[in-house]
Amino acid sequence: MRTVILDLDGTLADTSADLIAAANSCFLRLGHGAILDPAGDALTAFHGGRAMLRLGFSRLGEWSEADVDVEYPHLLAAYEAEIDRNTRLYPGAVEAVGMLKAEGFAVGICTNKPEGLAELLLTRLGVRDLFGSLVGADTLPVRKPDPAPYFAAVERAGGIVARSMLVGDTDTDRKTAKAAGVPVALVTFGPEGEGVARMSPEALLKHFDELPALAARLLGDD
């Protein structure tokens, strides 16, 4: 079965504001201000909690990975508490997934967000049932760009890796697709915009309306 696997943060949904708020809660807890900017630091947000903490600490001066390790659990707790306050699915995402399924594609998610948080967010957004699989950062012993989580997402959705593709937004997704030997479409509606073209993906996705036709082109007819 042809299969489309989507990344979550920055691809299916704009989660940046809630992620940045969770990171800033750590710096506020430490007596600093809101170090990170929801707009200017959105790209870092899509690289994960630790990346946001590193960026914030780097702006404060001397720091170590131990500081990141201490604050990371606080970030996760803050994020879970307000996980869907500002997060929104990108326009056309639900319709595109529905059309893919109607055309016989399997659809799943492979994310570097912890699985429990991903489950919670998708449930709160009312779309968990649209996806045949969900593999998170801690579902397996490894995470993207290792291809194993991608393989698991395809197989759990009922698909075949040889007839699958990944939709993502960062270099991590590009590297994952290369390691898995599958095509990748990178979205241009995230913080990098058209800049993702520098990664030479097999396709650029400018709007979710284009996804069904793009998937058919890259994966062929059933």
Beta strand pairing call for 134-135 and 106-110: parallel
Which tokens belong to 84? 């869907």
Could you tell me if residue 181 is left (phi over 0), alpha (psi between -120 and 50 degrees) or otherwise beta?
left
Q: Where are the alpha helices (DSSP H) in the chain?
A: 16-29, 42-45, 49-60, 65-81, 93-102, 115-124, 148-156, 171-180, 211-219
Judging by DSSP bridges, how do beta strands 184-187 and 203-205 pair with one another? parallel
Catalytic residue, chosen from 7, 9, 14, 169, is 7
Q: How many residues does the chain have?
A: 222
Helix (H, G, I), strand (E, B) or coil at 31: coil
Work out the number of other CB atoms within 10 angstroms of the CB of residue 171.
Answer: 15
Q: Is 7 labeled as catalytic in the residue annotation?
A: yes
Active-site residue numbers?
7
